[in-house]
Chains A and B, each alone.
Chain A
Amino acid sequence: QVSAALKEGRVTPTELCQRCLSLIKSTKFLNAYITVAEETALKQAEESEKRYRRGQPLGVLDGIPVAVKDNFNTAGIETTCASNMLKGYISPYNATVVQKLLDQGAVLLGKTNLDEFAMGSGSTDGVFGPVRNPWSYSRQYKEKSVPKSDSKAEESNWVITGGSSGGSAAAVSSFTCFAALGSDTGGSTRNPAAHCGVVGLKPTYGLISRHGLIPLVNSMDVPGILTRCVDDAAVVLGSLAGHDPKDSTTIQDNFKPFELPNLSDVSKLSIGIPKEYHAPGLSSEILALWSKAADLFKNAGAKVIEVSLPHTCYSIVCYHVLCTAEVASNMARFDGLEYGHRSDMNKSTESMYAATRREGFNDVVRGRILSGNYFLLKQNYENYFIKAQKVRRLIANDFVKVFRSGVDILLTPTTLSDAVPYMEFIKEDNRTRSAQDDILTQAANMAGLPAINVPTALSERGLPVGLQFIGRSFQEKQLLTVAKWFENQVKFPMIQLEVKRHDHDAFQHQKSASFS
């Protein structure tokens, strides 16, 4: 919608950019952004404006303000991964996906907040502090919360965004940008998307380049896309997907960007409901919503059947071992010599490395490195690492069997419950939380399959709940088509954000919430 507005001259890229920048300032308390690249964004907006005036926009994304998670390298802009290890690190290059967005004329507003090195499911463990869910400040949430006696108690009632791409999800949810990049290794894009009421797409592993994405788990990481509607996600996917010679894990098949058809007939679809996703701890609300969604498809004529993915319960344990092992390897590059934090300790290289890493990494990161090293010890390699790789194959095979049996798409919940208040979330440690929260999203990363969160309804507390669709490898078009149909059926409500001291103009573009 906003893209059409830009084309027709109803709004200019610089106006759009300024409104977003001012909204970012008004919503600073959300802590969604680590770095705001005001000057470069305005310059990009000006360039875009010149192109529109000449009648030669680069495409649908020209002039569209976007945000990027702070674990993607962005040339000339600080990239921190929310860690002391990379504070002050100015990337010398753009990640391929960032470059692609800029080549399409997108306006990069800034870098968003995350859990340190994308490890976590709350966006609460970064050095710049936690991200607040914009829905904490929505009329819908406030109406449902028990009135507090003093404003201070109300202040501390805010809920988390989920993670680890919480900043990106919050940025999209609060209208400060039209699309954002996240990363997804265990659910890090879909989890915050569900809690913040936005669309979160995890593409098939190998479809989008990871060059420039600071790696966590090389065999599972993918860049994630966060937008306010499924059509927008398809547009962004179209501009990002495709082979990259700089990333040898991208497939060489030709990728053709697609527009999503408006599905009217779902009778040829077969929707699978994996019974193991009725996980312990799943809230009765979400269970009911899941059931309702299945009925929605059934009543529209689709075939809805229960399926089984028997190894689902082991995916978190498997992930735990493989993730820590790959993390131990990937974090080895941070030694203080070439970039990032460097300790003053000078006695020897080893002691300098040790001190640098002690000073630079938080407990979560250090914990994972040490666990990973444990599982990789000679005496443990076979029993833990290789064993986990075998279990991974079993998990991936579960999906293959189900899809081979004629199921087109799987429908599952995305999270166990709606967003919890921050004060409650921090009562448990990071690893426990991740183990609990990743359970529904993790297996898709194990198998490399595409998955998407579609905001479905508001919970009793007035907070967003989303449902997840998982598709066949590289069948994003089918996945997104079904997701779009579902989105049109549920008509998820728009957030009624109550922000003090904002300029009224900023909310005019609530009317043009999407850009496609």
Chain B
Amino acid sequence: QKVTVEVLDHLEHLALVDFRDAEGVERLQKAIQFADQLHDVNTDGVEPMDSVLEDRCLYLRGDDVTEGNCTNELLKNAREKVEEYFVAPPGNIPLPKLEERETFLQSS
């Protein structure tokens, strides 16, 4: 089954990355087709594995401050900043809808 434009649009919103062109969409289609081979495997009764170290305990270290005070170092790499703040454009404005966006998906 082909992936619908709604799902493609949804993915562009979630990933904040666009498909750019037909090749991009085709790439996803092929990826899904490739992944479908997983369904040939019988996994009844098998638990999902998150980590190869699952038999060991995750540990906690003491709640002591051991590093920090590197504000200047960290700010050096940011392009837009004011005093000790990273400056972002206004938030809470959703990405424009498909019809209003400049995206390849409009033509498909």
| A and B assemble together | yes
Give the size category of B's interface with A: 35 or more
Which residues from A are CB-within-8-Å of B79? 336, 342
The answer to whether the Cβ of B94 comes within 8 Å of any Cβ in the partner chain is yes
Instruction: Assess whether B41 is in contact with A394, with CB atoms less than 8 Å apart.
Output: yes
Instruction: Assess whether B48 is in contact with A386, with CB atoms less than 8 Å apart.
Output: yes
Which residues from A are CB-within-8-Å of B76? 90, 92
The answer to whether the Cβ of B90 comes within 8 Å of any Cβ in the partner chain is yes
Would A350 and B17 be within 8 Å (CB), given that A324-B31, A374-B32 are in contact?
Answer: no
Within the assembled complex, what's the spacing in Å between the Cα atoms of A388 and B49? 9
Report the minimal beta-carbon distance from A85 to chain B, rounded to whole angstroms.
11
Which residues from A are CB-within-8-Å of B11? 370, 373-374, 377
The answer to whether the Cβ of A351 comes within 8 Å of any Cβ in the partner chain is yes
Which residues from B are CB-within-8-Å of A128? none
Would A317 and B37 be within 8 Å (CB), given that A90-B77, A350-B93, A390-B46 are in contact?
Answer: yes
Instruction: Assess whether A387 is in contact with B39, with CB atoms less than 8 Å apart.
Output: yes
Report the minimal beta-carbon distance from A383 to chain B, rounded to whole angstroms.
7
Number of A interface residues in the complex (CB < 8 A): 67
CB within 8 A of A321: which of B38, B58, B89?
B38
Instruction: Assess whether B74 is in contact with A338, with CB atoms less than 8 Å apart.
Output: yes
CB within 8 A of B15: which of A337, A370, A390?
A370
Interface residues of A in 335-376 (CB under 8 A from B): 335-340, 342, 345-354, 357-358, 361, 363, 366-367, 369-371, 373-375
Would A349 and B17 be within 8 Å (CB), given that A342-B79, A390-B46 are in contact?
Answer: no
Which residues from B are CB-within-8-Å of A392? 48-49
Would A394 and B88 be within 8 Å (CB), given that A339-B77, A367-B31 are in contact?
Answer: no
Which residues from A are CB-within-8-Å of B31? 320, 324, 367, 371, 374, 431
Instruction: Assess whether A357 is in contact with B17, with CB atoms less than 8 Å apart.
Output: yes
The answer to whether the Cβ of A393 comes within 8 Å of any Cβ in the partner chain is yes
Within the assembled complex, what's the spacing in Å between the Cα atoms of A471 and B52? 15
Instruction: Assess whether A358 is in contact with B15, with CB atoms less than 8 Å apart.
Output: no
Report the minimal beta-carbon distance from B71 to chain A, rounded to whole angstroms.
11
CB within 8 A of B17: which of A320, A321, A369?
A369
Instruction: Assess whether B24 is in contact with A317, with CB atoms less than 8 Å apart.
Output: no
Within the assembled complex, what's the spacing in Å between the Cα atoms of A259 and B11? 51
Which residues from B are CB-within-8-Å of A367? 24, 27-28, 31
Instruction: Assess whether B41 is in contact with A358, with CB atoms less than 8 Å apart.
Output: no
Residue among B16, B70, B89 with the most chain A CB within 10 A?
B16
The answer to whether the Cβ of A311 comes within 8 Å of any Cβ in the partner chain is yes
CB within 8 A of A205: which of B53, B70, B80?
B53
Would A206 and B53 be within 8 Å (CB), given that A245-B61, A363-B20, A374-B28 are in contact?
Answer: yes
The answer to whether the Cβ of B95 comes within 8 Å of any Cβ in the partner chain is yes
Within the assembled complex, what's the spacing in Å between the Cα atoms of A346 and B19? 21
Within the assembled complex, what's the spacing in Å between the Cα atoms of A389 and B77? 37
The answer to whether the Cβ of A391 comes within 8 Å of any Cβ in the partner chain is yes
The answer to whether the Cβ of A497 comes within 8 Å of any Cβ in the partner chain is no
Select from chain B the residue with minimum beta-carbon distance to A352. B89
Residue among A252, A336, A354 with the most chain B CB within 10 A?
A354
The answer to whether the Cβ of A403 comes within 8 Å of any Cβ in the partner chain is no
Which residues from B are CB-within-8-Å of A357? 16-17
Which residues from B are CB-within-8-Å of A396? 49, 52
Which residues from B are CB-within-8-Å of A349? 88-91, 93
Instruction: Assess whether A371 is in contact with B28, with CB atoms less than 8 Å apart.
Output: yes
Would A92 and B41 be within 8 Å (CB), given that A348-B93, A367-B24 are in contact?
Answer: no
Which residues from B are CB-within-8-Å of A388? 35, 38
Instruction: Assess whether B24 is in contact with A363, with CB atoms less than 8 Å apart.
Output: yes
27 sampled A-B residue pairs with Cβ under 8 A = A90-B76, A314-B38, A317-B34, A321-B38, A338-B77, A342-B79, A345-B89, A348-B90, A349-B88, A349-B90, A349-B93, A350-B16, A350-B93, A350-B94, A357-B16, A363-B23, A363-B24, A366-B18, A367-B24, A370-B27, A370-B28, A371-B27, A373-B14, A374-B11, A394-B41, A396-B52, A431-B31
Nearest 6 pairs of A and B residues by beta carbon: A448-B52, A389-B48, A348-B93, A339-B77, A393-B49, A390-B43
Besides the known contacts A373-B14, A393-B49, A431-B30, 19 further A-B residue pairs in the complex with CB atoms under 8 A apart: A89-B77, A90-B77, A245-B61, A314-B41, A324-B31, A337-B78, A338-B78, A348-B89, A348-B93, A357-B16, A363-B20, A371-B27, A371-B28, A374-B11, A386-B48, A393-B46, A393-B47, A394-B46, A431-B27
